[in-house]
Amino acid sequence: TTTVRVSPAVLGFSAVAHSLADVVVVPEGYSVTVMGRLGDPIVAGTAAYKNDGSDADFDKRIGDHGDALHFFGLSAANKPDRNISTRGLMVQNHENISEQYLHPNGPTPAPRPLAEAIKEIECHGVSVTEYIDNGSRKWSLVQGGALNRRITPNTPMAFSGPAAGSPFLVTAYGKDGKIGRGTINNCANGVTGWNTYLTCEENYAGYFRRDASDDAARTVAEIDSLKRNGITSRSGNNDWSTASATDDRITRWNATIKGATAADDFRYEPNQFGWVVEIDPYDPKSTPRKRTALGRFGHEGAFVRAVAGQKPAFYMGDDSRGEYLYKFVSAATWVEADADAADRLAIGDKYMDTGTLYVARFNADGTGTWMPLVYSPTFPKRAASGSYREYTFTSQADICVNTRFAADALGATPMDRPEWTAGNPATGEIYLTLTNSNNSFRPVTGTNAANPRSYNDPKGPSNSAQTGNPNGHIVRLREDGDTTSATTFKWDIYLFGADATDANPTNVNISGLTTANDFSSPDGAWFSRASNPAGQINPLLWIETDDGALTDRTNCMLLAAIPGHVGDGGAYTVNNAGNTQNTFVGAKATAANLRRFLVGPSQCEITGIDSTPDGRTLFVGIQHPGESGSVTAPGSNWPDTQSNASAAKTVRPRSSIVAITRNDGGVIGL
């Protein structure tokens, strides 16, 4: 156990200005080291990455679009060590791909060559990679590390919890509904108190193809479920289903019903995704477990709070416009001895397979309610609305698979795209980034107290006007009684994203941002580790951004904040044109308590963050630099530009992790 002291009065670095340069910019006195990059080999005997589109074997290389990450300390005996800051396993999600840079001349149009599709599929998933500090925080990747591992969409998985073994999960591959293959579109993460990693399946829906003819073969409930979860594409991302009619690594991405006994009938394959997946990074032979008790939706992340005497809780956003915030509370109370158990996935069974899933309602008076998603014959039906028919639940497995419908039925509060959750280790307060929304989902007549803004941003993307909530905000909550199992809470809005030069600051720049700390579209959120060094670290909040309405003036960024507490601001009225919303806002941002720490290279997103336990190396993910460019005209040449400002304009960009260190060796941010 560690002591967490109160925060400092002022952040300890100079703010970084807006930047459109193709390089990672950090404050004076800090340095950037590029670590693992897309394609770097992690398995012994795999060739160096040529980065010309000819490389293959991505089941042995770092994948694309690195997203959330976590540093797991590694002892000399390759066992977990929470205190070591010089050797560790970096576990990172690989959310998606920049397809144009993965082949010699860009992707071949459909029908896709099988090898191209397999390469793209294997660029997704999770990597486990050993790193070592060779002295003075000079990090290097250990190719052939004993625990190095790629988990891809083809890696065998097991299902556990209420939906395991149910008809919803039966496929041609997993006929008992208890097994499946792989994980995809892994966005944010969670770290349990027992040395395992949670990877969260977000936008899985788009990879599936479903032909128009399929509707006639489906029940009404199935058609509505597919639509509510976004499985509506007729081609599937990247046209993978065109690459083979017989290889089931390909045919699985076409969910169209083929026939009950057909070898390529993957009608329920979409139900195999949208889960929180637990991985034991210290056992490369272990089979990851999909924890169905935590529900199925566009899982962004899963912040875990495990404290003595309480039941572990998992806070989870569903990132789509108008979706919800969820919490799962274990049935079992946390036992400290489980933190160091050898059979880590068995501990996961104990805390993650039995418990209660809740969805949040944010009331207009600053209170909130966690509503249980627990099946009984009287659980409300999901009423018909729009093109949806009435939906009747039949079991807890049904609620776990069709979680969005169940949350609809209880009247949960629709939010402006719930992204990461992060808990303040000193107070237990939970922060939720709400990245943005648009006018069709958040019209001026459709705001609520927790999502109070809908306005005309005169300088939206590319300086064209954008309506809705284009800059997003951050909500935070404090559980009543400060217990993880509370069913009520208090909330306020910690911070509103804004353009500091916006012409309408009264109702838009509510937090009082300046050009030294303005931001748009918050996404990643993370508190400094509580344990570094020897309990001295203060829990700074770090905020990462994903595109948004400022990208014509600055690339995406990382900010550091000294957060206050729920209720330290007051009531505020947002006067949207023709609609007034009373809300609760945190204290104003100041130059002392919110500063821009880093700006990334061209066309990147900043996502993924952790540090060593001593707080002296900060690891940050630079995702998809140059994502809008082409193979002949790359949109970025980073990371080559980091050390060579005159890098060739033709060199292909690569998602990479950077290590940020202080030149004096001090703790980052203080």
Per-position DSSP letters for 135-151, written without gaps between them: STT-EEE-TT-TT-EEE
HSE-up of residue 289 (Cα within 13 Å, Cβ side): 23
Q: How far is the CB of 202 from ligand FEO (least distance, A)?
A: 5
- Binding to Ca ion (CB under 5 A) within 540-559 occurs at 546
CA–CA gap between residue 541 and residue 534 (Å, rounded)? 19
Q: Which is nearer to ligand FEO, 201 or 214 (CB)?
A: 201
CA–CA gap between residue 223 and residue 402 (Å, rounded)? 12
CA–CA gap between residue 580 and residue 405 (Å, rounded)? 29
CA–CA gap between residue 439 and residue 466 (Å, rounded)? 8
Binding mask 390-429 for ligand FEO (x = CB under 6 A): -----------------------------x----------
Q: Which is nearer to Ca ion, 312 or 497 (CB)?
A: 497
Q: Interface with ligand FEO includes 640 (CB under 6 A)?
A: no
Instruction: Provide the token pair at 31.
Output: 């340095």
Tell me how far apart the 2 most distant CA atoms of the chain are, in Å.
67
Q: How far is the CB of 419 from ligand FEO (least distance, A)?
A: 5
CB atoms within 10 A of CB 360: 24
Q: Interface with Ca ion includes 353 (CB under 5 A)?
A: no
Q: Which is nearer to ligand FEO, 204 or 491 (CB)?
A: 204
Q: Which is nearer to Ca ion, 398 or 544 (CB)?
A: 544
CA–CA gap between residue 60 and residue 281 (Å, rounded)? 16
Residue closest to Ca ion (Cβ): 546
Q: How far is the CB of 243 from ligand FEO (least distance, A)?
A: 25
CA–CA gap between residue 324 and residue 128 (Å, rounded)? 30
Q: How far is the CB of 316 from ligand FEO (least distance, A)?
A: 12
Q: How far is the CB of 580 from ligand FEO (least distance, A)?
A: 30
Binds ligand FEO (CB under 6 A): choice among 22, 59, 133, 319: 319
Q: Interface with ligand FEO includes 187 (CB under 6 A)?
A: yes
Q: Which is nearer to Ca ion, 185 or 356 (CB)?
A: 185
Q: Which is nearer to Ca ion, 98 or 435 (CB)?
A: 435
Q: Which is nearer to ligand FEO, 256 or 435 (CB)?
A: 435
Our CA angle for 417, 619, 278, nearest 5°, is: 60
Q: How far is the CB of 641 from Ca ion (least distance, A)?
A: 20
Strands 289-291 and 156-160, by their bridges, are parallel
Binding mask 96-125 for ligand FEO (x = CB under 6 A): ------------------------------
Q: Which is nearer to ligand FEO, 250 or 359 (CB)?
A: 359
Contact 69, 92 (CB under 8 A): yes
658: partner contacted, choices Ca ion, ligand FEO, none (Cβ within 5-8 A by kind)? none
C-alpha torsion 559→565→568→570, nearest 10: 80
Q: Which is nearer to Ca ion, 529 or 624 (CB)?
A: 624
> Which range binds Ca ion by CB under 5 A, 5-13, 122-130, 348-356, 602-610?
602-610
Binds ligand FEO (CB under 6 A): choice among 122, 214, 278, 300: 300
Per-position DSSP letters for 544-607, written without gaps between them: EE-S-TTTTT---EEEEE----TTSSEEEEEEETTEEEEEEE-PPP-TTTEEEEEE--TT-EEE
SS3 for 365-410, per residue? CCEEEEEECCCCCCCCCECCECCECCECCCCHHHHHHCHHHHHHHH
- Which sign does the torsion angle of CA 411, 415, 421, 426 carry? negative
Q: How far is the CB of 523 from ligand FEO (least distance, A)?
A: 6
| Helix/strand/coil percentages in the chain, nearest 5 | 15, 30, 55
Q: How far is the CB of 67 from ligand FEO (least distance, A)?
A: 6
Binds Ca ion (CB under 5 A): choice among 523, 544, 610, 614: 523
Q: How far is the CB of 268 from ligand FEO (least distance, A)?
A: 24
Binds Ca ion (CB under 5 A): choice among 318, 499, 605, 610: 605
278: partner contacted, choices Ca ion, ligand FEO, none (Cβ within 5-8 A by kind)? none
Angle of the 403-410 helix axis to the 220-228 helix axis, nearest 10: 90
Q: Which is nearer to ligand FEO, 163 or 187 (CB)?
A: 187
Q: Which is nearer to ligand FEO, 95 or 353 (CB)?
A: 95
Binds ligand FEO (CB under 6 A): choice among 201, 202, 416, 499: 202
- Binding to Ca ion (CB under 5 A) within 360-419 occurs at 419
605: partner contacted, choices ligand FEO, Ca ion, none (Cβ within 5-8 A by kind)? Ca ion
CB atoms within 10 A of CB 81: 17
Closest CA to 196 of 97, 53, 314: 314
Instruction: Provide the token pair at 527.
Output: 């508190």
Binds ligand FEO (CB under 6 A): choice among 55, 59, 95, 479: 95
Our CA angle for 349, 369, 372, nearest 5°, is: 40
Residue 522: asked if its preceding bond is cis (omega within 30°), the reply is no
Q: Which residues of this protein are in contact with Ca ion, per CB under 5 A? A: 187, 419, 435, 523, 546, 605
Residues in the site for ligand FEO, rule: CB under 6 A? 95, 187, 202, 300, 319, 419, 523
